[in-house]
Amino acid sequence: MSAQPPYETLSWKSPAGASPFEELRGGRLTLIDQTRLPAEFLLMTCKTSEDVWRAIKQLSVRGAPAIGIAAAYGVCLGIQPLFAGANRPTRGDLIAAVEKTAAYLATSRPTAVNLFWALDRMKARAAAMPDAESDRIAAALMSEAKTIHDEDRLLCRRIGRFGANLIKDGDTLLTHCNAGALATADYGTALGVFYAAQEAGKKISVYADETRPLLQGARLTAWELAAHGIDVTLICDSMAAMLMRRKKIDAVFVGADRIAANGDVANKIGTYSVAVAARAHGVPFYVAAPFSTFDLTLSDGSQIPIEQRDPEEIRRGFGRQTAPDGIKIYNPAFDVTPAELVSGIVTEKGVITPVDAGEIRRFIQTE
Ligand code: MRU
């Protein structure tokens, strides 16, 4: 993988020309280790499902779609040892290993629904082959993980094209966190909209919120947009409202980790404040996300599980002590933006607007 775009956030390395079964048996998952950016562009290799779990938990791979893709490959790594020897596992043993690995990977992070969506797809693929031998099921699981990965490349470009129609030549845009190539297979959702606008010949500039406390905006979005040749300016999170008041922002685009049936959107902590500021200043606030980020089992955003992260991320972010020992720290990784603050949700099938339960149901069910 190269540090220059287009780069892949993750890739499955396996013997060239191998059958899907051989690909699974000899393959490894390679990731860009996002914890090292922007100082270093380093790859890490996951050889086991435990490696994938750790990579997700410690944010080496992060962003809702990328987490889902990594987890799908994690299932392949979880069943790999069953095929190491000369003997093949029984179908029952294989299904049990798939279920166990999926349940384990599901404990890595709670908020991004793409993780559970991808694991459910893997389990369903195995369950749909009741009469098959374990080799064939393993091959099908490898194909399914690759399909989830390939589909994401396609979806992001579709989202990009629909979202680019909302942008005018000369616009200045704001984004929060990183919903770019690093958060997906390779193009991004919210940042994919910017890439598509640029590819369509529109001149744009972007303000990137630094995104406290782990600085995905500073470390990842600023790096990624600059690498794509987009005019990007980094700001502290607390500066966005002031820029809106000064009429410096034409629209906001962010990604999402989970969208409830009524259109409430969970995304990186701080997104809600941006949406409130946007509404107060008459700035359109758009969310870009694929259908796999919708969770129609939840009627509203109050039911979305919000990840609480280690207080040390705030007390000693990046190794330097910035808060007293022993002080109480509250560190939710996400917040929920109510649907009424969202001007539209840009999906792979078009823009959902107005954002409400009826329109979302109609949009998703008729596609
Ligand atoms: O904690 P992170 O870095 O995984 O949070 C990521 C976000 O909140 C992204 O905005 C979201 O996953 C959308 S990615 C296309």
Cβ burial of 324 (10 Å; 0-12, 13-18, 19+) is exposed
In the prediction, which pLDDT does 157 show? 98
Residue 355 domain-assigned (yes or no) = yes
- The answer to whether residue 243 is domain-embedded is yes
The pLDDT tens digits of the residues spanning 6-26 come to: 789 999 999 888 899 999 999
- 203 in the same domain as 110: no
pLDDT value of residue 217:
98
Name which residue leads in pLDDT, 1 or 207.
Answer: 207
Residue 257 Cα to ligand 1 midpoint, Å, equals: 6
Quick: pLDDT tens for 30-49.
Answer: 999 999 999 999 999 999 99
Cα(257)–Cα(267) distance, rounded to whole angstroms?
5
| 110 Cα–ligand 1 center, Å | 12
**Same-domain check for residues 150 and 195:** no
Pair 119, 92 in one domain: yes
CA of 97 to the centre of ligand 1 (A): 29
Look at residue 1 and tell me if it is in a domain: no
Specify if 204 maps to a domain.
yes
Q: What is the pLDDT of residue 156?
A: 98
| 104 plus 41 within the same structural domain | yes
**In the chain, % of residues over pLDDT 70:** 99
Q: What is the pLDDT of residue 86?
A: 87
CA–CA separation, 191 and 197 (whole Å): 10
| Pair 138, 258 in one domain | no
Ligand 1 neighbour 89 (Cβ under 6 A): no
Residue 230 in domain: yes
CATH number for the domain that contains residue 223: 3.40.50.10470
Which atom number of ligand 1 is nearest to the Cα of residue 288?
15
Domain finish residue from 155, 184, 210: 155
Residue numbers annotated as active site = 257
Ligand 1 near 109 CB (within 6 A): no
User: What is the edge-to-edge ordering of all strands in the sheet holding 334-337?
Assistant: 294-295, 258-260, 265-268, 334-337
Last residue in a domain, options 125, 155, 185:
155
Q: Is residue 2 part of a domain?
A: no
Q: Which atom of ligand 1 is nearest to the CA of 180?
A: 15
Residue 115 shares a structural domain with residue 216: no
For the stretch 256-276, pLDDT in tens is 999 999 999 999 999 999 999
Domain end position, chosen among 119, 137, 155: 155
Range of the domain at 52: 7-155
Is residue 94 located within the same domain as residue 223?
Answer: no
257 Cβ below 6 A of ligand 1: yes
Looking at the structure, tell me whether residues 84 and 186 fall in a common domain: no
Residue 351 Cβ inside 6 Å of ligand 1? The answer reads: no
Q: Is 211 in the pocket of ligand 1 (CB under 6 A)?
A: no
DSSP of 17-61, one letter per residue?
T--HHHHHHH-EEEEE-TTSTTT---EEEE-SHHHHHHHHHTTSS
Q: Note whether 198 and 148 are same-domain residues.
A: no
Q: What is the number of domains present in the chain? A: 2
**Each residue's pLDDT tens digit, 56-65:** 999 999 999 9
Residue 333 CB–ligand 1 contact under 6 Å = yes
CATH code of the domain in which 85 resides: 1.20.120.420
How far is the C-alpha of 185 from the C-alpha of 149, rounded, in Å? 6
- From atom 6 of ligand 1, which residue's Cα is the shortest distance away? 63
Model-level pTM greater than 0.95?
Answer: yes
Q: Are residues 55 and 29 in the same domain?
A: yes
* Shared-domain flag, residues 192 and 256: yes
Instruction: Specify if 169 maps to a domain.
Output: yes
CA of 85 to the centre of ligand 1 (A): 39
Between vectors from CA 334 to CA 306 and to CA 121, what angle results, nearest 5°?
A: 65
- Indicate whether 244 and 133 sit together in one domain: no
In a domain, 68, yes or no: yes
Please tell me the predicted confidence (pLDDT) of residue 7. 81
Mean pLDDT across the chain: 97
Rounded-to-integer distance, Cα 136 and Cα 347, Å = 34
Positive or negative torsion for Cα 263, 267, 273, 274: negative
CA of 365 to the centre of ligand 1 (A): 26
